[in-house]
């Protein structure tokens, strides 16, 4: 019992110490920040011995499917690392981005003990409920650390020693954690320095292997400061296409390399190199760069120099396979390395979307119309734009027409245009219609199911004859265009109801692409990250989000799909105002969905609605009022929060802000 009280007192002293200790090492500072989060944000009790949370087989299967390719690459590195530590009783864990164990290697004879301690497949080590630990704190901080014995927040975990390092994908997106744990370590934390070094080293090797695997069809440029070793351990890696354009950059490349005109790009932008030519990074002669990108350097060791004067030894890895070639017409082919890149921006690791985009890549230059089906807000126009941008018509117009938004009285003139003097109020020189403006490019007909029947007949003629007749014109005008239509409606049902022409339907659906709803997708984290960075860039603010907020966003059903997700993230960025997005910055409907009751914000300290309650409550705004209520309830935070209509987290935050310290924490 004395040991429990000692551990609790130690944690709480740090939690409520203002300002935080300044003379701690970096690892200890990470631990202390985690303790504060566990106490103030998550309201966890350090005296508890909580049961290990093991995910259901269904949830685990979903996690494994989302990370299938990453698992395959990481397993080889894990097996090599385990050979070095197996004799010392360590268990090796690999988790996904939320902290759920998706792979592990350990001694099977200890299976019962390991599972009881949570060192097993499916264990969820997220800090929100597991407190400070190697995996959960690494998920929260995205930094390597050692959580040794009483560094753990819960007394039930103090026998463990865990060392973890974060893993990022080739685009800098956090993927998960590589962790080494031991059930019991009799030595001080300093004894784990070698373990930490090995964990970080193999984590880096897994990232590099994943990078090489993902960009195996591109040239990979490796740079290092030690010439003879650059082929095997180049610190910097860039993936480039046949034209020398950067399509991927590893963590060191994003951290070290800068563009010649980097002043116009935020240094924190992880993708600032991607899309630019190598000549924008290196000041070396263009023919040297050309030799590298074309793989004609032979066995010579080339030194390349960045625009800021740093020199690197360079080597190049040739593609494992030639880039995919797409047939344009009979007897002709065209290599299009940009196609997969453009379409790949739409989705992450979702099997349905990968199949859809693979089909789209094969259809994009075929002479057939495409129909995109999907719920409202799933990104039908985004897909249509990507189809256009990755096609041979990319330098021609992309004209989007919302058939549901144009008034029925104007839709004919808007689509087909009119000649001068056709009707009162017309432009003197007439007007070119939207269909004619798309000549040579792509015409996107959104919500085609809402087009009036009369206009459907005229559109059918355009598709069959490839010509239009503007209002008031005597002769038709030839048009060359690719038609992509979209609808959230069931067009077959409309055909049965007589509101949509069957012959037009078959003209439009030469191929159908069915976009899944966001709730059905396995790459919601990818969507959130990509939208967040895009909107943050547009608002010129930082784009970061706490693990707690991310958990709620991933659990939300998103009935409004991608459109709702974009609006929610814009709202959160605005409320956060440059700070990291946390739970209290999310729209109320997402908070309500998490707790299952819309009025939870006003009913007491129920996480995660607690921050909203604190921001809107009128009581307890003055330090004296808060102090009175605390004393009245004998410093019981839960009772204080309940009386004031706040959350415990808000009470702790205001205590810290006003310099109020509980006397019982120093007894």
pLDDT tens digit string along 348-389? 888 899 889 988 988 888 888 899 999 999 999 999 999 999
Residue 349 makes CB contacts below 8 A (sequence gap 6+) with 66, 67, 68, 69, 70, 522, 523, 526
Residue 489 makes CB contacts below 8 A (sequence gap 6+) with 447, 449, 450
pLDDT of residue 395: 87
Vertex 655 angle, CA 649 and 661, to 5°? 120
Dist. CA 74–CA 72, nearest whole Å: 6
- Report the Cα–Cα distance between both ends of the chain, in Å, rounded: 16
Dist. CA 126–CA 99, nearest whole Å: 5
For residue 534, the tally of other CB atoms under 10 A from its CB is 13
Within a 13 Å sphere around the CA of 427, how many CA atoms are in the beta-carbon half? 11
Dist. CA 74–CA 175, nearest whole Å: 11
Residues of the chain within CATH 1.10.8.60 domain(s) are 520-666
For residue 102, the tally of other CB atoms under 10 A from its CB is 22
pTM to 2 decimal places? 0.48
Dist. CA 240–CA 289, nearest whole Å: 11
Residue 614 makes CB contacts below 8 A (sequence gap 6+) with 584, 646, 647, 649, 650, 651, 653, 654
61 sits in which H/E element? helix 57-66
Residue 224 makes CB contacts below 8 A (sequence gap 6+) with 230, 233, 234, 235, 236, 312, 313
In the CATH hierarchy, which top-level class contains the domain 2-212? alpha beta
pLDDT of residue 210: 86
DSSP secondary structure string for all residues of 559-628: TTHHHHHHHHHHHHHHHHTTSPB-GGGS-HHHHHHHHT-TTGGGSS--TTTHHHHHHH--TT-SHHHHHH
Could you say which of 3.30.450, 3.40.1130, 3.40.50, 3.30.1360 is the CATH number of the domain covering 218-317?
Answer: 3.30.450
List the structure tokens of 280.
Answer: 């924008």
CA distances from 355 to 173, 348, 516 (A): 22, 12, 12
Low-confidence ranges of the chain (pLDDT < 50): 262-271, 295-299, 321-337, 597-621, 664-667
Give yes or no for a contact between 193 and 25, defined as CB atoms under 8 angstroms apart.
no
Residues of the chain within CATH 3.30.450.40 domain(s) are 2-212
> In this structure, is the dihedral angle defined by the CA atoms of residues 46, 16, 142 and 564, taken in order, positive or negative?
positive
Q: How far is CA 386 from the centre of its chain?
A: 19
Dist. CA 332–CA 599, nearest whole Å: 64
Q: Label residue 532 exposed, middle or buried (CB < 10 Å: 0-12, 13-18, 19+).
A: buried
Give yes or no for a contact between 508 and 464, defined as CB atoms under 8 angstroms apart.
no
Buried-state track 592-620, b at ≥16 Cβ within 10 A, e below 16: bbbbeeeebbeebbebbbbbbbbeebeeb
Residue 632 makes CB contacts below 8 A (sequence gap 6+) with none
Residues of the chain within CATH 3.40.50.300 domain(s) are 327-516
Phi and psi at residue 600, to the nearest 5°: -60, -25
Instruction: Report the topology of domain 520-666.
Output: Helicase, Ruva Protein; domain 3 (1.10.8)
Length of the chain (residues): 667
Instruction: Report the topology of domain 327-516.
Output: Rossmann fold (3.40.50)
Dist. CA 199–CA 182, nearest whole Å: 13
Give yes or no for a contact between 96 and 170, defined as CB atoms under 8 angstroms apart.
no
> In this structure, is the dihedral angle defined by the CA atoms of residues 45, 46, 47 and 49, taken in order, positive or negative?
positive
DSSP 316: E
Residue 486 makes CB contacts below 8 A (sequence gap 6+) with 371, 372, 373, 374, 380, 381, 384, 444, 445, 446, 447, 448
Q: What is the CA radius of gyration of the chain?
A: 30
pLDDT of residue 45: 92
pLDDT of residue 428: 62
């Amino acid at each position: 019992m004395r040991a429990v009280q000692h551990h609790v007192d130690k944690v709480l002293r740090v939690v409520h110490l203002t300002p935080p200790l300044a003379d701690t090492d970096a690892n200890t500072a990470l631990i202390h920040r985690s303790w504060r989060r566990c106490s103030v944000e998550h309201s966890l009790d350090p005296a508890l011995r909580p049961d290990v949370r093991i995910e259901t087989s269904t949830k685990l299967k979903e996690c494994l499917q989302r990370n299938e390719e990453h698992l395959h690459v990481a397993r080889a590195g894990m097996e090599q690392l385990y050979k070095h530590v197996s004799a010392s009783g360590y268990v090796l864990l690999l988790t996904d981005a939320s902290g759920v164990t998706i792979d592990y290697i350990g001694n099977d004879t200890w299976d019962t003990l390991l599972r009881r301690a949570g060192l097993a497949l499916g264990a969820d080590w997220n800090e929100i409920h597991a407190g400070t630990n190697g995996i959960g704190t690494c998920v929260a901080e995205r930094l390597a650390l050692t959580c040794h014995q009483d560094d753990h927040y819960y007394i039930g975990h103090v026998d463990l020693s865990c060392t973890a390092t974060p893993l990022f994908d080739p685009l800098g997106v956090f993927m998960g954690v590589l962790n080494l744990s031991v059930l019991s370590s009799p030595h001080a934390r300093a004894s784990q320095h070698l373990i930490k070094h090995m964990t970080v080293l193999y984590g880096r090797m897994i990232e590099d292997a994943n990078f090489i695997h993902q960009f195996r069809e591109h040239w990979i440029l490796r740079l290092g400061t030690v010439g003879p070793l650059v082929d095997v351990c180049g610190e910097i890696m860039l993936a480039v296409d046949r034209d020398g354009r950067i399509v991927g950059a590893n963590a060191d490349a994003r951290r070290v390399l800068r563009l010649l005109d980097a002043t116009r790009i935020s240094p924190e932008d992880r993708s600032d190199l991607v899309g630019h030519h190598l000549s924008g990074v290196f000041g070396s002669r263009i023919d040297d760069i050309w030799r590298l990108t074309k793989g004609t350097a032979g066995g010579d060791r080339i030194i390349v120099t960045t625009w800021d004067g740093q020199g690197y030894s360079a080597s190049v890895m040739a593609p494992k396979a030639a880039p995919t070639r797409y047939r344009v017409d009979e007897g002709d082919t065209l290599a299009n390395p940009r196609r997969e890149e453009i379409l790949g921006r739409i989705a992450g690791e979702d099997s349905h979307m990968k199949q859809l985009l693979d089909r789209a890549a094969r259809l994009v230059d075929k002479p057939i119309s495409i129909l995109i089906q999907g719920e409202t807000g799933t990104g039908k126009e985004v897909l249509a734009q990507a189809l256009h941008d990755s096609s041979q018509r990319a330098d021609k117009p992309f004209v989007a027409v919302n058939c549901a938004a144009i008034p029925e009285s104007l839709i004919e003139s808007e689509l087909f245009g009119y000649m001068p003097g056709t009707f009162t109020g017309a432009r003197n020189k007439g007007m070119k219609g939207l269909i004619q403006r798309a000549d040579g490019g792509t015409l996107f007909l959104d919500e085609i199911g809402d087009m009036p029947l009369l206009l459907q007949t005229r559109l059918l003629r355009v598709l069959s004859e490839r010509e239009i007749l503007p209002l008031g014109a005597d002769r038709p005008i030839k048009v060359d265009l690719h038609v992509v239509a979209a609808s959230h409606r069931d067009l077959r049902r409309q055909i049965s109801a007589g509101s949509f022409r069957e012959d037009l339907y078959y003209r439009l659906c030469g191929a159908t692409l069915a976009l899944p709803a966001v709730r059905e997708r396995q790459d919601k984290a990818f969507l959130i990250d990509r939208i967040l960075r895009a909107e943050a860039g547009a608002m010129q603010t930082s784009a970061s989000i706490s693990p707690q907020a991310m958990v709620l966003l991933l659990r939300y059903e998103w009935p409004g799909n991608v459109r709702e997700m974009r609006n929610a993230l814009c709202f959160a960025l605005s409320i956060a105002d440059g700070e990291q997005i946390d739970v209290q910055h999310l729209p109320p409907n997402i908070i309500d969905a998490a707790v299952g009751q819309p009025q939870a914000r006003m009913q007491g300290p129920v996480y995660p609605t607690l921050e909203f309650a604190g921001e809107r409550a009128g009581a307890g705004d003055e330090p004296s009022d808060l102090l009175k209520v605390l004393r009245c309830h004998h410093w019981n935070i839960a009772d204080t929060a309940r009386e004031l209509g706040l959350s415990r987290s808000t009470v702790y935050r205001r205590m810290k802000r006003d310099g109020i310290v509980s006397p019982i924490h120093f007894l």
